C-alpha cells in the first residue's frame, strides 16, 4: 500500500458548520474513538468533545496490536488488531498510542512498538 493511498480517509469528514441537536447516548469505553478530551474528526457531527483529531494513519505491525482501555501493561487487552490492518492514531502518551481502525471503532491503547515503522 503506498503512502498516498494509506493516508486517504475512508470515511466522510464533516464539512461546514457543525452542531449537535439534542442529547447523544455516551458509548461504552473501547467502542467509538471518543473520550472526554478528544474524538475522531469523523464524529464531529454526532458527538461532543473538547477537541476533534484528524488521525495519522499507520499500519499494525507483524505481531498484531492489542487494544487496551488504559495505557498500562496491567490493563487487560479486549481485542487484537491483525497484522497489516489499518490503525488511525489519535493520541500519544510515551510508549502508548490511542486510536482505532476507523471512526466506528473499536478504540483503545496499544504500544507504539506494535505498529509498523513509518515508511519514509
Whose CA is closest to 35, among 12, 55, 51?
51
Whose CA is closest to 111, among 2, 103, 84, 87?
87
pLDDT of res. 9? 62
Q: What is the pLDDT along the chain (120 residues), one digit of tens a residue?
A: 444 445 566 676 666 665 656 556 788 999 999 998 999 999 988 888 899 999 999 999 999 999 999 999 999 999 999 999 999 999 999 999 999 999 999 999 999 999 998 765
Q: Give the Å distances, CA to CA, from 16 to 23, 46, 92, 105, 106.
A: 21, 14, 28, 24, 27
Answer whether CATH 2.30.30.40 is correct for domain 30-114.
yes
pLDDT of res. 23? 58
pLDDT of res. 5? 44
What residues does each domain of the chain span? 30-114
Amino acid at each position: 500500500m503506498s503512502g498516498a493511498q494509506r493516508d486517504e480517509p475512508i470515511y466522510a469528514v464533516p464539512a461546514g458548520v457543525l452542531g449537535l441537536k439534542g442529547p447523544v447516548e455516551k458509548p461504552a469505553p473501547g467502542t467509538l474513538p471518543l473520550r472526554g478530551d478528544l474524538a475522531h474528526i469523523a464524529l464531529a457531527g454526532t458527538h461532543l468533545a473538547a477537541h476533534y483529531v484528524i488521525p495519522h494513519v499507520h499500519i499494525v505491525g507483524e505481531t498484531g496490536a492489542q487494544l487496551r482501555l488504559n495505557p498500562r501493561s496491567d490493563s487487560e487487552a479486549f481485542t487484537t488488531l491483525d497484522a497489516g490492518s489499518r490503525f488511525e492514531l489519535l493520541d500519544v502518551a510515551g510508549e502508548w498510542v490511542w486510536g482505532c481502525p476507523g471512526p466506528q471503532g473499536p478504540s483503545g491503547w496499544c504500544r507504539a512498538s506494535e505498529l509498523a515503522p513509518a515508511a519514509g
